[in-house]
A and B are shown apart, each in its own frame.
Chain A
Amino acid sequence: MESKLIDHLFRHHSGKMVSVLTRIFGLAHLEVIEDAIQDTFIKASLTWRHRRPDNPEAWLTQAAKNRVLDIFRKLKTERKHLPIIKHGMDIIAINELFLDSEIEDAQLRMIFTACHPNLDPRDRISFALKTVSGFSIKEISSALLTKEETIKKRLTRARKAIQRSQLKFNIPQGKTLPERLESVMEVLYLIFNEGFHSNKKEKLVRKELCGEAMRLCKMLLKNQHTRTPASYALFALMCFHSARLDAKTNAENEILDLKTQNRSLWHLPLIKLGNTMMNKAVEQAEFSCYHFEAAIAAEHLRASDFEHTNWGNILHWYQCLNTLQPMPTHLLTMAVVCMQNKDYQKAKSYLDQLKPQDFAQRVYLYYGAKADYYSAMDNLQGAIKNIDFALDTVINVLEKDYLQKKKSALLSNKQE
């Protein structure tokens, strides 16, 4: 008896089976479906204790198939409207929906449903993690650092929005596809960032979110209609960022910036995969934000050490990005990049375009950059004043530590 199953087999299989059964019964019966699938996993976890099936995945699929009739009976007694199988769907047709290619198709439909513009943007991530990725409410709340109660509300709201607008369970076609695909990529990007920038103590949770976003993005690349330059670029971006995930924190879980990261910890296979994806992304001259963000990430990875970073190139990519998608954070980063390049005049010209209220709860980043600027200008008083503003507004403990260290360094400079 082998003691280990494929990592996340249950979680992934849950997403697959919920999608397939939704294709059979329709989105209206999502809750019944989710309960039924959950039940197969409980049964599996009990019976497998003593006897492991030879092919666990096939066992789970068969169990899900067997549930189809149960659900059908249950819905029939509840006299609920049965959209597809009211004329009796034959067994062959149902079997076909469980083929690998059809499972992928069903999952893609679920992704598009979860990321539908009719859903509140905040609800999309939770709903996607629940239905497509097989996360529990507890797991979502822990991954997103949000209360379980809030996640529950988001899921209910998402379900209601789906019922209210009677969403079709399909992959959009024609003119609506690009817009809907953009919404999907945005959600995947957000899921990834939740993982990559998370303040969560456990590295594992962060990795899981990043991994999940990549898995879903890969699904986009498998389908000819959703395989676009932008989705390739998004995947490349995820590869490049993930390559640095292990180097981002030290053993004490402190955040390390690019300057102090141990570059030998960067994961080479992911960098290579990112490069391959990037090459595909630029086959057509149709550039998205993800292209430029990936280009920036790649530029960082290319430098043998921090001192060798090509800040000129990075600034160029940020300018492209800001033209396509003007944002205060881009300008702020451009200011920081100019300071790295010792072009303080240009840095100031960017900083002068910005106001604290542009940044809401991330205003500490703005003050932090200003502190750096004053420090470079040998204006220690100005630097310390801004560091104090930053410390007053920062929430995250790790980033607070980081700023505190910076302040101590400034103060000791002052004494010298």
Chain B
Amino acid sequence: MKEFMMIFVGADYADLGLSPEELQNRMGKWFAWGNKMEKAGILRGGNALNPNMRRIVGENRTVTDLTSAEVKEIVGGYYLVEAKDFDAVQEIAQDFPDYDLGGTVEIREITVFDQ
């Protein structure tokens, strides 16, 4: 088994003007997805990220504070899952709730060094 990270890009709730009802419905879908992965015993962790960010760039270590509105494709959160291969994770990612809001899932494999 390998470990993968599903990174969620875009679909920033704060910018989409979702109503309380819609937010609750969205959350219900996230619950269902999380439960499904937990039941399958493949969930290794995950977090949601605040939209505020501080960016440090270049040798001068230039610092900028940014909000989600200023960043095109903001990372909103991630899940760590255990799976056989990319295809298996792709299957898991079918249930990501926010495709309809323009959200994207990026799947990356966690690097493991065999000594």
Chain A residues with CB under 8 Å of chain B are 1, 3-5, 8-11, 13-14, 38-39, 41-42, 44-50, 52, 134-136, 138-139
Shortest Cβ-Cβ A-B pairs, 8 listed:
A136-B19, A10-B20, A10-B24, A46-B48, A49-B30, A45-B23, A3-B31, A14-B20
Selected contact of A8 from candidates B17, B24, B30, B46, CB within 8 Å? B24
Selected contact of B20 from candidates A46, A47, A134, CB within 8 Å? A134
B32 to chain A, nearest CB (A): 5
Selected contact of B28 from candidates A3, A47, A136, CB within 8 Å? A3
Assembled-state Cα–Cα distance A39/B51 (Å): 12
Select from chain A the residue with minimum beta-carbon distance to B24.
Answer: A10
> By the criterion CB–CB under 8 Å, are A11 and B28 in contact?
no
Assembled-state Cα–Cα distance A41/B16 (Å): 13
B74 to chain A, nearest CB (A): 12
- Set of chain B residues within 8 Å of A9, measured between Cβ atoms: 24
Selected contact of A11 from candidates B20, B26, B32, B46, CB within 8 Å? B20
> By the criterion CB–CB under 8 Å, are B28 and A4 in contact?
yes
CB contacts between A and B, total, < 8 Å: 78
- Set of chain A residues within 8 Å of B13, measured between Cβ atoms: 42, 45-46
> By the criterion CB–CB under 8 Å, are B24 and A11 in contact?
yes
> By the criterion CB–CB under 8 Å, are B27 and A136 in contact?
no
Chain B residues with CB under 8 Å of chain A are 13-14, 17-24, 26-28, 30-32, 34-35, 38, 46-48, 76-77
Assembled-state Cα–Cα distance A189/B27 (Å): 32
Select from chain B the residue with minimum beta-carbon distance to A1.
Answer: B35
- Set of chain A residues within 8 Å of B31, measured between Cβ atoms: 1, 3-4, 48-49, 52
> By the criterion CB–CB under 8 Å, are A139 and B38 in contact?
no
B50 to chain A, nearest CB (A): 8
12 additional A-B residue pairs with CB within 8 Å, beyond A44-B23, A46-B76, A49-B46: A5-B24, A5-B27, A8-B24, A11-B19, A41-B23, A42-B13, A42-B18, A45-B13, A46-B48, A48-B30, A49-B27, A52-B31
> By the criterion CB–CB under 8 Å, are A48 and B27 in contact?
yes
- Set of chain A residues within 8 Å of B27, measured between Cβ atoms: 5, 44-45, 48-49
B78 to chain A, nearest CB (A): 10
Assembled-state Cα–Cα distance A13/B23 (Å): 13
Assembled-state Cα–Cα distance A200/B105 (Å): 35
- Set of chain B residues within 8 Å of A136, measured between Cβ atoms: 17-22
- In the complex, 5 of the A-B residue pairs with CB atoms within 8 angstroms, ordered by the A residue number, are A13-B20, A38-B20, A49-B27, A50-B46, A134-B21
> By the criterion CB–CB under 8 Å, are A1 and B19 in contact?
no
Assembled-state Cα–Cα distance A139/B27 (Å): 18
Select from chain A the residue with minimum beta-carbon distance to B33.
Answer: A49
- Set of chain B residues within 8 Å of A45, measured between Cβ atoms: 13, 23-24, 26-27, 30
Select from chain B the residue with minimum beta-carbon distance to A136.
Answer: B19
- Set of chain A residues within 8 Å of B17, measured between Cβ atoms: 136, 138
> By the criterion CB–CB under 8 Å, are B21 and A49 in contact?
no
> By the criterion CB–CB under 8 Å, are A8 and B21 in contact?
yes
Assembled-state Cα–Cα distance A80/B80 (Å): 47
Assembled-state Cα–Cα distance A138/B17 (Å): 9
- Set of chain B residues within 8 Å of A38, measured between Cβ atoms: 20
Known: A14-B20, A136-B17. A49 touches B35 (CB 8 A): no
Select from chain A the residue with minimum beta-carbon distance to B8.
Answer: A49
Assembled-state Cα–Cα distance A10/B18 (Å): 12
Assembled-state Cα–Cα distance A139/B18 (Å): 10
Assembled-state Cα–Cα distance A49/B38 (Å): 13
Assembled-state Cα–Cα distance A42/B26 (Å): 11
Selected contact of B48 from candidates A8, A39, A49, CB within 8 Å? A49
A133 to chain B, nearest CB (A): 10
Assembled-state Cα–Cα distance A11/B34 (Å): 23
- Set of chain B residues within 8 Å of A52, measured between Cβ atoms: 31
Selected contact of A135 from candidates B19, B28, B34, B77, CB within 8 Å? B19
> By the criterion CB–CB under 8 Å, are B48 and A50 in contact?
yes
